[in-house]
């Protein structure tokens, strides 16, 4: 019922050569018919990626955006600019941005609204730290992050959002949440969404992120509430990422 979505977050990594390698690997047949795939390279590679991915199933993603349309904001990029480059998805609220660039839930919410008004689908990233998990606060923290963004949205806007559950302790650490741990939180997010609208909750795509790789992807993606993955490190090798997409 829900089309799986696999998103590759290159973070501040990559090169023109990597863009081209992805174009080549993803021009092979062999992906499941029913999977959406998006690559989120750094901004300078978006145009090269648009050209290299033209004959593939890869779509374009960005890693963040500024909530404003234009103006005196040196170094920033707006949703309208990304849309013009063909960007379909944007990551918002990644834990690295929350921590390193002090993005609060309010900033995250503004960016989600800006993406939606630019016609770009937001992938809202949420997740707890290890201290929060150990204190038994996982669901409280995750639902607070989700709720802060969902509350002001209209139903039609909610329908365009995907949510990536990324336990902070699993990102880039090689320590993956067990399929059961991930499923428990994803089911909690879907249940929360059902409080707004049962039908939308059933359509909501929930991605798992945190050291997903070609070996553990199939088991995670087999969970009933996991509809895809947000992949960091393992999205930097075209063959590995292709193998993850094949598990979807």
Catalytic residues: 94, 166
209 near ligand PEP, rule: CB under 6 A? yes
**Site for ligand PEP (CB under 6 A): which residue of 4, 52, 233, 240?**
233
User: Annotation-wise, does 86 bind a ligand?
Assistant: no
User: Binding to ligand PEP by residue 14, rule CB under 6 A?
Assistant: no
Judged by CB under 6 A, the chain residues 124 through 163 that form the site for ligand PEP are: none
Q: Is 211 in the site for ligand PEP (CB under 6 A)?
A: yes
| Residue 9 Cβ vs ligand PEP, minimum distance, rounded to whole Å | 4
Question: Is 93 marked as a binding-site residue?
Answer: no
Total residues at interface with ligand PEP (CB under 6 A):
14
211 is in an annotated binding site: yes
Burial of 28 (0-12, 13-18, 19+ CB in 10 A): exposed
Residue of closest CB approach to ligand PEP: 232
Residue ranges of the binding site: 9-11, 172, 211, 232-233
* Binding residues vs ligand PEP (CB under 6 A): 9, 11, 166, 171-172, 209-212, 230-234
């Amino acid at each position: 019922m829900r089309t799986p979505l696999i998103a590759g977050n290159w973070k501040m990594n990559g090169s023109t050569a990597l863009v081209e390698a992805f174009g080549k690997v993803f021009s092979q047949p062999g992906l499941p018919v029913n999977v959406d795939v998006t690559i989120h390279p750094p901004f300078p590679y978006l145009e090269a990626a648009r050209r290299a991915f033209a004959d593939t199933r890869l779509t374009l993603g960005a890693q963040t955006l500024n909530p404003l349309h234009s103006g005196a904001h040196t170094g920033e990029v707006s949703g309208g600019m990304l849309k013009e480059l063909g960007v379909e998805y944007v990551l918002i609220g990644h834990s690295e941005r929350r921590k390193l660039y002090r993005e609060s839930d309010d900033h995250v919410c503004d960016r989600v609204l800006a993406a939606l008004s630019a016609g770009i689908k937001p992938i809202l990233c949420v997740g707890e730290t290890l201290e929060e998990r150990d204190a038994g606060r996982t669901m409280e923290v995750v639902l607070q992050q989700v709720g802060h963004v969902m509350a002001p949205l209209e139903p039609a806007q909610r329908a365009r959002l995907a949510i990536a559950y990324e336990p902070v302790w699993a990102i880039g650490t090689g320590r993956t949440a067990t399929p059961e741990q991930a499923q428990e939180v994803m089911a909690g997010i879907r249940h929360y969404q059902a409080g707004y609208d049962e039908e939308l909750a059933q359509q909501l795509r929930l991605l798992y992120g945190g050291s997903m790789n070609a070996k553990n992807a199939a088991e995670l993606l087999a969970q009933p509430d996991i509809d895809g993955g947000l992949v960091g490190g393992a999205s930097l090798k075209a063959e590995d990422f292709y193998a993850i997409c094949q598990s979807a």
